[in-house]
Amino acid sequence: MVAEPYTADDPETRLALFDFAFDNAPIGIALVDLEGRIIRCNAAFAKLLSLPLEKVLGTHFRDFTHPEDIEADLILFQQVLQGRRDGYTIEKRYLRPFGEVVHVVIHVAAMRNSEGQVIRFISQVEDITRHKEHERQLAERAAQLELALEAVRGGFWQMDILTGKFETSDRLAQFIGGPMAARLDLERYVDRVNVNDGAHADLTPLIAGKLDHNVAEYRLDTVHGERWMRCDRRLLRDSDGRPVKIVGMAIDFTEERRRIEILEETARTDALTGLLNRRGLSIEFAALQSADGFKEVNDAHGHAAGDIVLQTTAARLTSAVRDQDLVARTGGDEFVVVIAGDRSAGEAAASRILERMREPIATAAGIADIRTSIGGIWTDAKRDLAELLEEADVLLYAAKAAGKDAVRFQEASRTVV
């Protein structure tokens, strides 16, 4: 006698398969009667509730549903009983015995007899507590970021390297163009960058993958006027290391830059006269472009009247030279003038200085009769500033020895290229 094997069409086989899937499913499964009581559940469902399986049976689903979520669940449950729907999906919270909350999503389906009547419900239940915690953390971070962005002026932008699509955030677009401004594409954003700062805003090294991160500073035309922006740009790569996206955060740091510029200007200028001090003279001298030559005049003389004499001297020296020439106060009554040009330009400036300094200066203590001694050096190539000052000092003392109100002017003793 040969027995026929069971097939999937055999009722007993189907029942056995159902029982196996029901009991061993990785998610919670429960059969619920028409009143909402649990008549069967698997181990995964009992674990969700932190209860022994036998204590779950016979309980109503509202017994372990969070009070705030019961009404919505009951409404959907009744709609199925009334034939208005075949099932529903809902997120809600379960309460474990000691008050611990479990976030779940349940999928409820009606089981009907051959006449179409609902005889029970089958519920599949997934624990989404961890997912909800991640959502909460993301929401908190988004709120924190929003608060942080409200405290700064600027916003985000991003660029898809593969498609070339560039787009600013709404906040950045509104910072640039006003409350009703639409998001900017790359062309319209670049049009807002100061033409002299284009190289700083260039994204080419990031697009090519040569850099993963850099910070650029450039001026941007906005509804608030031209503003200095500091832009932190980061490159994102795919799993193979290929560049795929650039994200940037542009923040207005105009006021900070101005404070820095003021500090730098203060550090390189003389507080009394407003002229360059020795540090400022060194910086500006180093930045001078090569020219036909330059002359330095080292002028040192003061009066007991003090500050007013020094301030007047500074004004007269400044008026005797061009805007591009340098005038510095390097000591108590010692001034340095740097003039770009040939020897004749330096000699002419020295003559103008002597003439203007011959005019008496009125002070609170009376009229100060000032005379000036000038030692001048001319060279046809850029030289070390300290060396030139030393040579000019020698000539200055020679001018003083000659009776003041005099100039000693000659070419530098040597040339250094």
214 and 121, same structural domain? no
Structure tokens at 227: 């503003």
Q: CA geometry: angle at 117 spanning 112 and 118, to 5°?
A: 55
Q: According to the model, what pLDDT value does residue 225 have?
A: 95
Whether residue 141 is contained in a domain is answered as no
Low-confidence ranges of the chain (pLDDT < 50): 1, 6, 289-304, 414-417
Q: Which of 68, 96, 130 is the last residue of a domain?
A: 130
Domain that holds residue 110: 11-130
Q: According to the model, what pLDDT value does residue 162 have?
A: 92
Q: According to the model, what pLDDT value does residue 272 have?
A: 77
Upper half-sphere CA count for residue 154 (Cβ side, 13 Å): 21
301 and 394, same structural domain? yes
In total, how many domains does the chain have?
3
39 and 90, same structural domain? yes
Whether residue 213 is contained in a domain is answered as yes
Q: Which of 228, 257, 286 is the last residue of a domain?
A: 257
Rounded-to-integer distance, Cα 406 and Cα 399, Å: 5
200 and 115, same structural domain? no
Q: According to the model, what pLDDT value does residue 389 have?
A: 84
Contact (CB, 8 A) for 335 and 299: yes
Rounded-to-integer distance, Cα 345 and Cα 334, Å: 21
Order of strands across the sheet that contains 373-379: 326-329, 334-340, 294-300, 373-379, 406-411
Pick from 249, 242, 161: nearest CA to 203: 161
Q: According to the model, what pLDDT value does residue 150 have?
A: 66
Whether residue 285 is contained in a domain is answered as yes
Q: What is the CATH number of the domain that holds 214?
A: 3.30.450.20
Whether residue 276 is contained in a domain is answered as yes
Q: Which amino acid is at 25?
A: A
Residue 65 DSSP class: B
Please name every residue paired with 362 in a beta bridge, in sequence order, or none if there are none.
367
Supply the DSSP string of 258-290, one letter for each residue: HHHHHHHHHHTB-TTT-SB-HHHHHHHHHHPPP
Whether residue 117 is contained in a domain is answered as yes
Please name every residue paired with 111 in a beta bridge, in sequence order, or none if there are none.
120
25 and 112, same structural domain? yes
Q: What is the CATH number of the domain that holds 406?
A: 3.30.70.270
291 and 177, same structural domain? no
95 and 212, same structural domain? no
205 and 313, same structural domain? no
Q: Which of 257, 291, 317 is the last residue of a domain?
A: 257
User: Residue 407, Cα to own-chain centre: how many angstroms?
Assistant: 56
Report pTM.
Answer: 0.45
For 32-69, where are the alpha helices, taking DSSP H only?
A: 43-49, 53-56
Whether residue 34 is contained in a domain is answered as yes
Structure tokens at 57: 């049976």
216 and 118, same structural domain? no
